[in-house]
Structure 1
Amino acid sequence: MVLCTGAGVRAEDSVNVLALKGPTAMGMVSLMDQADQGEITGENYDFQIVASPDEVSPAIAQGTTDIAAVPANLASVLYQKTNGGVQVLTINTLGVLYLVENGEQVQSVSDLKGKTIYASGKGATPEYALNYILKENGLTPGEDVQIEWKSEHTECVAALAEHEDAAALLPQPFVTTAQSKNDSLRVALDLTEEWDKIQKDNGGNSSLVTGVTVVRTEFAQEHPEIVEDFMGRYQESVSYVNEHTEEAAKLIGDYDIVPEEIAKKALPECNIVYIDGAEMKEKLSGYLEVLEQENPQAVGGVLPADEFYYDAE
């Protein structure tokens, strides 16, 4: 199996691809399997799956990986840290954040007024996305809505069990995991849909973006044909994953990304996509602008230049 657990060793004469456990890796599993089965001729793809974004930065900086599926804001941070050393190829995952509750009280964002939301991800993109959606709906975080920050998703679910009139902010596939243990949990709001409503009302076209796929700029300049080959195969892989849920779920389980049964239920809610070119730039740049307004450090201090977006003209 092509799966590796570390990101520190470069496989020579290969295209080294790194992905994080979770939705950002799910869309790659068909391509991983093809490489594993020896079905790809022309390029030698070597895939590594890692558990933490902290493993991505050194792999990019040291050149031990060429292409990586990473959180959207991390791509911007890496661009700044490496002085333009990475470019974003595709959006691979739209929003995976959901508000869940016990009951039927929350039908719209306005229904959150006076409630407490339990969430993890303070000082990171979940906080900024939630704040943006609340504020755009006329609610002030900390005044109209109380947010209690926890260190783990499991703590949010536990708090929800103790306070049934509250809500919890959770990502997929953890939502599915939590529902498998407590069938009274209901998805009240999809933050991706709420983001899209705001954009429609404001005449914008950005999206809530979870993950993107980046390439080392030097690698892209030296091997444009390899990058194009990868993008074509990756697009096919994403299509396969979205169209063949059961088969894809088995592969996701085999590669230890998410357990098969959880993947089977969660895949339709994980918003796995393949978006490149001008549409990618439009959706991603608007998302990064929102993060930059919430906290410039979330995107590396300043917004990335146009060169950040690969082939976006």
Structure 2
Amino acid sequence: MRKWIAFLLLVIGTTLLMTACSSGEGKEKAELKKVVLDYAYYSPTSLALKEFGWAEEAFEEQGIEVEWVLSHGSNKALEFLNSKSVDFGSTAGAAALIAKSNGSPIESVYIYSKPEWTALVATEDSDITAIQQLKGKKVAATLGTDPYIFLLRSLQEVGLSSNDLEIVNLQHSDGANALLTGQVEAWAGLDPHMAKVEVDSGAKLFLRDHEKNTYGTLNVRSDFAEQHPEVVETVIEVYEKARKWVIENPDEAADILAKEAEMPLEVAQKSLERNDFSDPIPGEKQIEALTAAGEVLQSENVIKGNVDVPEIVEELINDQFAKNVIE
């Protein structure tokens, strides 16, 4: 009899525990009071979305507040995601891949643009015209971002590596200043800072390759996506509204970029022109581009040798939310 009673108590206890856990999960979902989005000067779509308050409108009916956080680069957006300072972060695809390979629990759920946002830059009076000339020189780049990855891939193509020069790790705007003040001899630039030094100082882009620029991805923490899939879809819905608006209103979009980044309109226009906003659903194109980038990064030990790059890329790219909203 005692064994039977013990068994009944065990069953009852387990049932109560499962009920409590279920209630707790439901409570967690119900208590979402705020969604935190980042915005970035390298993501004109995010700037339009923030400008017009479309996210605030969409979430108001659900009683959810929207908060905005400025990301100065992919590395900052990823830091914010990892620390749960933001729920959604805007990065270059390859930067998200590096983070994913290091265990960051994120997924790329939307493509905000296919940009040519990085190139290798030298001053107007520099005699540097080819990447081979960077050997032994100081080059500014923000570690873990698309410009840094662009630099590594370009070096590898001519038989060089990061060991053949001195990479100075600076945030994008500081890298631009370092180039103009002679602290470095070249810079792996990022728009709109790159467009600004072109317009203001006549700086030259001595190496360009659109296909080495990985896509601009909107990333979400995996736990957040699992707990709040409807919020992810709502964010993609408002991003879609902003994307279409930017395509239809490029002049006004440039005005917003110029205002937010405090830059001349000519600079904003040049930066915006280098973005393709036509293909927002992540998929095979991104998988192919990121796999190629990942192999280079692995050869440079940026991604560990024991990481299965194709597997990590597949885990990173999640097309389901965008397909649910857009198709």
The normalised TM-score by structure 1 is 0.68
Separation (CA, whole Å) in 1 of partners of 2:188 and 2:77: 26
- Aligned pairs, how many? 275
The alpha-carbon distance between structure 1 residues 36 and 86, as it changes in their structure 2 partners (threshold 3 A), is same
Offset at residue 31 of structure 1 (A): 1.8
The alpha-carbon distance between structure 1 residues 239 and 280, as it changes in their structure 2 partners (threshold 3 A), is farther
Offset at residue 120 of structure 1 (A): 0.6
The residue aligned with 2:141 is 121
Offset at residue 88 of structure 1 (A): 1.1
Separation (CA, whole Å) in 2 of partners of 1:295 and 1:18: 29
The residue aligned with 1:3 is none
Separation (CA, whole Å) in 2 of partners of 1:269 and 1:299: 34
Q: Does 1:259 align with 2:267?
A: no
The alpha-carbon distance between structure 1 residues 237 and 283, as it changes in their structure 2 partners (threshold 3 A), is farther
Gaps of 5+ in 1: 1-10, 197-206
Offset at residue 40 of structure 1 (A): 3.4
Offset at residue 215 of structure 1 (A): 1.0
The residue aligned with 1:60 is 81
The residue aligned with 1:221 is 226
The alpha-carbon distance between structure 1 residues 177 and 51, as it changes in their structure 2 partners (threshold 3 A), is same
Q: Does 1:284 align with 2:317?
A: no
| Matched residue type, 2:243 | V
Larger relative contact order (Cα-Cα within 8 Å, sequence gap ≥ 6):
1
**167, 170, 175: which is aligned to 2:194?**
175
| Matched residue type, 2:242 | S
The alpha-carbon distance between structure 1 residues 47 and 113, as it changes in their structure 2 partners (threshold 3 A), is closer
Does the aligned pair in 2 maintain the 1:73–1:298 contact within 8 Å? Answer: no
The residue aligned with 2:244 is 239
The alpha-carbon distance between structure 1 residues 69 and 127, as it changes in their structure 2 partners (threshold 3 A), is closer
More helix by share: 2
Residue identity over aligned pairs, in percent, reads 17
Separation (CA, whole Å) in 2 of partners of 1:59 and 1:106: 36
Does the aligned pair in 1 maintain the 2:131–2:154 contact within 8 Å? Answer: no
**21, 46, 67: which is aligned to 1:28?**
46
The alpha-carbon distance between structure 1 residues 171 and 77, as it changes in their structure 2 partners (threshold 3 A), is closer
Question: Greater CA deviation, 147-156 or 231-240?
Answer: 147-156
Offset at residue 285 of structure 1 (A): 3.2
Offset at residue 268 of structure 1 (A): 1.0
Does the aligned pair in 2 maintain the 1:86–1:217 contact within 8 Å? Answer: yes
The alpha-carbon distance between structure 1 residues 149 and 57, as it changes in their structure 2 partners (threshold 3 A), is closer
Separation (CA, whole Å) in 2 of partners of 1:295 and 1:267: 33
The residue aligned with 2:318 is 310
Separation (CA, whole Å) in 2 of partners of 1:149 and 1:168: 9
Gaps of 5+ in 2: 1-30
The alpha-carbon distance between structure 1 residues 295 and 208, as it changes in their structure 2 partners (threshold 3 A), is farther
Separation (CA, whole Å) in 2 of partners of 1:106 and 1:280: 32
Does the aligned pair in 2 maintain the 1:90–1:213 contact within 8 Å? Answer: yes
Separation (CA, whole Å) in 1 of partners of 2:244 and 2:305: 29
Separation (CA, whole Å) in 1 of partners of 2:195 and 2:159: 28
What is the Cα-based RMSD across aligned positions, in Å? Answer: 4.0
Separation (CA, whole Å) in 2 of partners of 1:191 and 1:118: 21
The alpha-carbon distance between structure 1 residues 30 and 62, as it changes in their structure 2 partners (threshold 3 A), is same
Q: 1:96-111 counterparts in 2 under 5 A?
A: 96-101=117-122, 102=124, 111=130
The normalised TM-score by structure 2 is 0.66
Partner-residue secondary structure (3-state), 1:15: strand
Q: Does 1:189 align with 2:212?
A: no
